[in-house]
Amino acid sequence: MTLAVAAMSHAPSFGNVDPGGTVFAEINSAIDEVRDFVEDFAPDVTIALGPDHFNGVMYEMMPPFCVGAQATGVGDWGTSAGPLPVDSDAARELHRLILEDGIDIARSERLQVDHGVLQPLEFVYGHGFTNPFVPIFVNSVGLPLTPMNRVRLFGEAVGRAAAKLDSKVLIFASGGLSHNPPIPVWDGAPQEVQERLIHFEMTAEQREVKESTMIANIRKFAEGKATAQPLNAEWDNKVLDAFRAGDLSVVDSWTNEWFHTEGGSGAHEVRTWIAAFSALATAGSYSFAVDRYWPVETWGAGFGVVAAKTDSPA
């Protein structure tokens, strides 16, 4: 069994707000490198770890982790809408194996995923891709959140389950790094907002208005006409250095409060990276093939694009 990871940020601003200079070209060049890495790796099984932004997974049922044995895309930010090419047999087997390993993980036969799962997959495989994959939801916005050590243990369980598939397994991790988008919080919210966080089916027209408003706000921020918690490049690199070092036990000391204070409300999406690299570490030492990072001031976000795989036996 050989294991590999492709991890990258996702961003509504991608392709909608110019980050300035050569940054956008550099990001696309790094994504091309990941695409080549994935093509060369030629995985038998692809697992996609991603968050949701109260688009597909709501408070009507908010598990910390959930495998999608069948899934549909909600179609936000230009990503695919409708049924997705899920590897259902692999998903159900992974669900069984992770449960047997002691991690309480849910399974959905009707998982709805948004750009938090799909954007990086479409960066690499193309819009409307047909490559079979297993989506795994990692809660990163629905408070309260699990402690980070549980995310590490979950990732290790994914790695051990992947080993039992006896296949070449690629794990995508989507999200982060530091950024501070407006994320609704249940506690103290008006009843109308709470109801929308329980269940809400957005029409295409409503989605268009919401996304247009968000893009307008991002452009105001890029022009210095709006304020938000700035990205934290020092924090981003501290987190990335942990993945580079390969010893994921350090994440046990990372608190949810530290993530929010230093990285912003969206920084919790790094949970997908923690899980992916924890999975990778179960297979032994690993090396980075792609390791790129940009503090994109005009997006108010740190943007990372990396790829790594297990080292060949001596």
What is the dihedral angle through the alpha carbons of 199, 209, 205, 67, rounded to the nearest 10 degrees? -40
Q: Which of 95, 179, 199, 268 is catalytic?
A: 179
Amino acid at 225: K
**Torsion over CA: 214, 219, 221, 225 (sign):** negative
178 within 8 A of 235, measured Cβ to Cβ: yes
308 within 8 A of 32, measured Cβ to Cβ: no
For residue 115, indicate whether it is catalytic: yes
The candidate with the shortest Cα–Cα distance to 140, out of 10, 265, 44, is: 265
Measuring CA to CA, how many Å separate 100 from each of 133, 146, 312?
A: 22, 20, 28
Q: Helices 148-164 and 88-100, interaxial angle, to 10°?
A: 120
302 within 8 A of 295, measured Cβ to Cβ: yes
Q: Is 291 exposed, middle or buried (0-12, 13-18, 19+ CB in 10 A)?
A: middle
Collapsed DSSP state (helix, strand, coil) of residue 66? strand
The torsion region of residue 301 among left (phi > 0), alpha (psi -120 to 50) and beta comes to beta
Whether the bond into 177 is cis, omega within 30 of 0: yes
DSSP 147: P
Whether the bond into 144 is cis, omega within 30 of 0: yes
Q: Which of 10, 53, 115, 268 is catalytic?
A: 115
Q: Which helix (H) or strand (E) holds 279?
A: helix 271-281
Indicate which residues carry an active-site annotation: 115, 179
